[in-house]
Structure 1
Amino acid sequence: MKQVEMECDSPPWIPQELLRSIFKRLPVRTLIKWQCVCKDWKDLLNGPSFIQEHLEYSGHENPSLLFCFPTIHETREFCTVDSEMQVLPVESLPLIEFLRNAIVIGSINGLVCVKSNCKFKPNDNFINIILWNPAISKFRVLTKESNFFVNMGFGFCSIGGDYKVVIITYHSYAWTSWIHQVEVFSLSTYSWKKVEFGRLLDGVQIPFDGFGTNGAIFWSAYNGNGHFLVSYCIATEEFALIPSPISATELSHFLRCRLSVYDNKLALLSRTTSGNFEYTLIDLWVMEERKDSISEKRWSWTKKYSVKHPYDLHPSLVWRNMIVCKYFEVLREGNNVSKCIVDGVVLVNLTTYELKRFTFRRYGVDFEVFNYVESLIPVDQIHIKEL
């Protein structure tokens, strides 16, 4: 009898709607295995609509954290912490030699942007940028020639479904110098282009890399008048200066401001301490934007929370109604502070103000942390909405 080869179809008694409902609840590592079951399942799990559905469910039900730690070899180790506070190491790191002295720029929809400062030759004038999805162990490396100091930003815009990397180049190797040019990489076209900014950024100093959310990238910035934000709209390719909720007088008391997201809006975490580290005060500001206005009054800030604790806390971001902070234990000799000991992570509950210690056995507080969601999004272009 002649054997007929047939494709493996989904069992007819399982409607596709039920399959989708089951699949979207599963972790990515399981779905990757199930892609091998049959062509129908592979097509379903790789389809843009299912990838979007899985992303939305994961972002709502299991928002996670991505931690990046330096190692003694100057490379980086990564782990994730899920909503159940389970710590999972990230395996299959991309091109470990590129992770030497690397800096994570941002994490959006499961894609992580990493800037590598490694030099393969003494006079190497290239920046290596890694676009990486840890869940599916896929990555791309972008190589950009640059003889200058740069700041970066990573963002996504649902209009056109495009991810972009922004490089701000300075005229010297110090961020106090004037801005030379701005270049933007588009994942949809896989190309770079220069962006005009006129005289808007004259005298602007941007000490840190940017933060991407809601179709824009934001940088904390300074000039002679104090602190403000620089925003870059991914869809319109326009820059804007946004007033800060922190006055120039207050700024001298703040060690650093951190940008985050709260209630799907841009948030700013500011930190101040008493003169002798008797307490730390953390304020959470949330920005509202009026789309129908073009003046500075288009943006307004509201202080949502003000948290005060007798510890040395350094806020990093907002996660699940908690502020993730680096924690330093202050040791005193009489009325004087002798030293501060790094002592892990503290989660500050925004409702109860309670503190929860979370310690990594092998690490102190020399880490970067980012909001993260596990996704199936490939590192090439795909049309996906932002969470």
Structure 2
Amino acid sequence: MSDIPPSKFSIPELPYELMSNIFLFCDAKTLVRVQATSHLWKDTLNSYEFVKEIAAVWRSKGCSLFGHFGYKEPTRRSLDWVIRMSSETGQRFPYALPFDVGNEGWFDIVGIDNGVFCFRLSKTRDISNLVVWNPMSRRQSVLDDPITGIADESTFLFSFLYYPNTIHYSIVAIFLERGRQARCVFTVYDSCSNKWTARAPCPSYVRKLDPAYVILNGVTYWVTWSHNQDAETRPYIVSFSSLTHTFNKIDLPDEALTTCHSLLMRDDHLCVAANNHNADGYTTMIWQVDAVGEEHQWSKLFDVNGNAHAFIPAAIVDGDVIQVLERHVEVDDVEGLEYTTIHIRRFFTATRKRKCILWVNYEDHVKLRTIHNYYEGFYPV
């Protein structure tokens, strides 16, 4: 008998726990192949526990920011583009969309979760589809759009659902239904059933969504306000649970009722940034909300001050705030000529220093439609 250990082991000889730890450091292509070998490994690699562990491993590789840019005029939506940049250094990376857009087409980034993109895509003006795309495994799924033709009065939400021992994604569409009385209606697509399974009216306080929203544990949050014939009500937060298909309303603190709001996620807590600004400068207050029984308690985290016209926080990365300034200057002597400056920078909350991530100037009216955090993931669409 030789004392030299073998150079190879067959997979069945390795303990299950050791194999699970090894797969935490594999690439997406390997994990997709392993899932096809047995029901055991398919359930294991799709389980919430494994996804949570591997997400922590890939999260340590850093966060990218995906910015969706486009022109003001709706007729130029086919010319939209995406910029990917490092949230730490601002370095730009090449990124090609996984689809083509026709001359009259358009696209929107519905959301990014668990390393997977959800786009809404139209190659014409009216007919559209949803594309769920994983850049790690180079896989995509194309879904029917349940409300084609009313793009301006609808919003889609994209998130992952964590059922016991498995993981699936859901897409929620909330849109304005015309009839005797206009009302908001929602419908839900679940990758487990592969169909749109629910369609029901929303509560009266649910209004048309802003494209910016945040997700925590299967619950989506966004800021909105109610309209009536006499006056507008104060802004508030609406939440929707993709697991229970229920809505909830969260009132903002009085001190946070300012002109601009954006929702953020910080250490698995929901936060709101309230911005006051004038010609001399701006002040942004970051608030955190916690559920205590059926009540919600707000606590103020810190203030962010500056001398720009306005910096709106767009995200929080590792406790630091990503700020966005979009400024449009119109040339008086030339009709229709405008300049745009878009400035994205990182505010380090520990040292209260700032670092420029992106500074671009355009000789046109350019809008930053959405900005998303991106952490690599492995989920096979």
**Residues 305-324 of structure 1, C-alpha deviations (whole Å, 9 max, x = no match):** 21111123122111122111
Given candidates 173, 176, 179, the residue that maps to 1:167 is 173
TM-score (norm 1): 0.73
Partner of 2:54: helix, strand, or coil? helix
SS of 1:115's partner is strand
Q: What amino acid is aligned across from residue 345 of structure 1 in structure 2?
A: I
2:135 aligned partner, one-letter code: P
Determine the structure 2 residue equivalent to 1:232: 240
Describe the shift of the 1:360–1:136 C-alpha distance in structure 2 as closer, same or farther (beyond 3 A): farther
TM-score normalised by length of structure 2: 0.74
The structure-2 alpha-carbon separation of the partners of 1:152 and 1:201, relative to structure 1 and needing over 3 Å to count, comes to farther
% identical aligned pairs:
19
**Residues 70 and 367 in structure 2, CA contact (< 8 A), matched pair in contact too:** no
SS at structure 1 position matched to 2:65: strand
Matching of residues 69-84 of structure 1 within 5 Å: 69-70=69-70, 73-81=78-86
1:356 Cα deviation from its structure 2 partner: 0.5
For residue 101 of structure 2, give the secondary structure of its aligned residue in structure 1: helix
Aligned pair partner of 2:305 in 298, 304, 308: 308
The residue identity in structure 1 corresponding to 2:299 is T
Q: In the alignment, is the contact (CA less than 8 A) between 1:259 and 1:267 conserved in 2?
A: yes
* TM-aligned CA distance change 1:194 to 1:257, over 3 Å: same
Cα contact 1:156–1:216 (8 A) shared by 2: no
User: Aligned to 1:322, which of 316, 320, 333?
Assistant: 320
Displacement, 1:186? 0.9
Of 93, 114, 119, the match for 1:109: 114
* In 2, Cα distance between equivalents of 1:266 and 1:345: 22
Structure 1 match to 2:341:
342
The one-character-per-residue Cα deviations of 1:56-78 (angstroms, maximum 9, x if unpaired) are: 21124534333334488524334
CA offsets per residue over residues 26-78 of structure 1, 9 Å max, x none? 6x4xx5379889x99xx979933655532221124534333334488524334
Measured after TM superposition, the shift of residue 23 of structure 1 is 5.7
The secondary structure found in structure 2 opposite 1:281 is strand
2:187 counterpart of 1:183 = yes
CA contact (8 A) 1:55 1:109 kept: yes
Question: Could you tell me how far apart the structure 1 residues matched to 2:361 and 2:86 are?
Answer: 15
The answer to whether 1:262 aligns with 2:266 is: yes
Alignment length, in residue pairs?
A: 339
Amino acid of the residue matched to residue 286 of structure 1? Q
State the distance in 1 between where 2:326 and 2:199 align. 41
Q: 2: CA distance between counterparts of 1:115 and 1:236?
A: 24
Give the drift of 1:105. Answer: 2.1
State whether residues 326 and 365 of structure 1, in contact with CA within 8 Å, keep that contact through their aligned partners in structure 2.
no
Using the TM superposition, give the Cα deviation of residue 95 of structure 1 relative to its aligned residue in structure 2, in angstroms.
1.8
User: 3-state SS of the aligned residue for 2:137?
Assistant: coil
Instruction: Give how far 1:344 is off.
Output: 2.7
Q: Does 1:211 align with 2:208?
A: no
Q: 1:273 maps to which residue?
A: 277
**Separation in 1 of the partners of 2:29 and 2:200?**
42
Q: Indicate how the Cα distance of structure 1 residues 196 and 23 shifts in structure 2: closer, same or farther if over 3 A, else same.
A: closer
Alignment of 1:68 onto 2:71 = no
Return the offset for 1:216: 0.8
Query: 1:183-216 CA deviation, whole Å, 9 max, x = no partner?
Result: 1111111111334446x325x4334134322221
1:131 matched residue in structure 2: 132
- Tell me the SS of whatever aligns to 1:58: helix
The offset of 1:222, in angstroms, is 0.5
Which segments of 5 or more consecutive residues in structure 1 lack a partner in the other structure? 1-7, 332-338, 380-387
Relative to structure 1, the CA distance from residue 137 to residue 111 in structure 2 (aligned partners, 3 Å threshold; closer, same or farther) is same
Task: In structure 1, give the amino acid aligned to 2:321.
Answer: I
Q: Does the 8 Å contact 1:221/1:230 carry over to 2?
A: yes
Structure 1 residues 271 and 135 mapped into 2: Cα distance closer, same or farther (>3 Å)?
farther
Q: Is the 8 A contact 2:69 2:81 kept in 1?
A: yes
Q: Is the 8 A contact 2:281 2:307 kept in 1?
A: yes
Counterpart-to-counterpart distance in 2, 1:229 and 1:137: 36
Amino acid at match of 1:104: I
Paired residues of 2:83 and 2:95 also in contact (CA < 8 A): yes
C-alpha contact (below 8 Å) 2:265/2:315 kept by paired residues: yes
Structure 2: distance between partners of 1:16 and 1:194: 39
Distance in 2 between the 1:352 and 1:369 partners?
24
AA at the equivalent of 1:169: F
Q: Secondary structure at the match of 1:288?
A: strand
Whether the 8 Å CA contact 1:280–1:309 is kept in 2: the answer is yes
SS at 2:235's partner residue?
strand
Query: How far did 1:171 drift?
Result: 3.3
Q: Tell me if the contact between 1:156 and 1:212 (Cα under 8 Å) persists in the aligned partners.
A: no
2:334 aligned partner: none
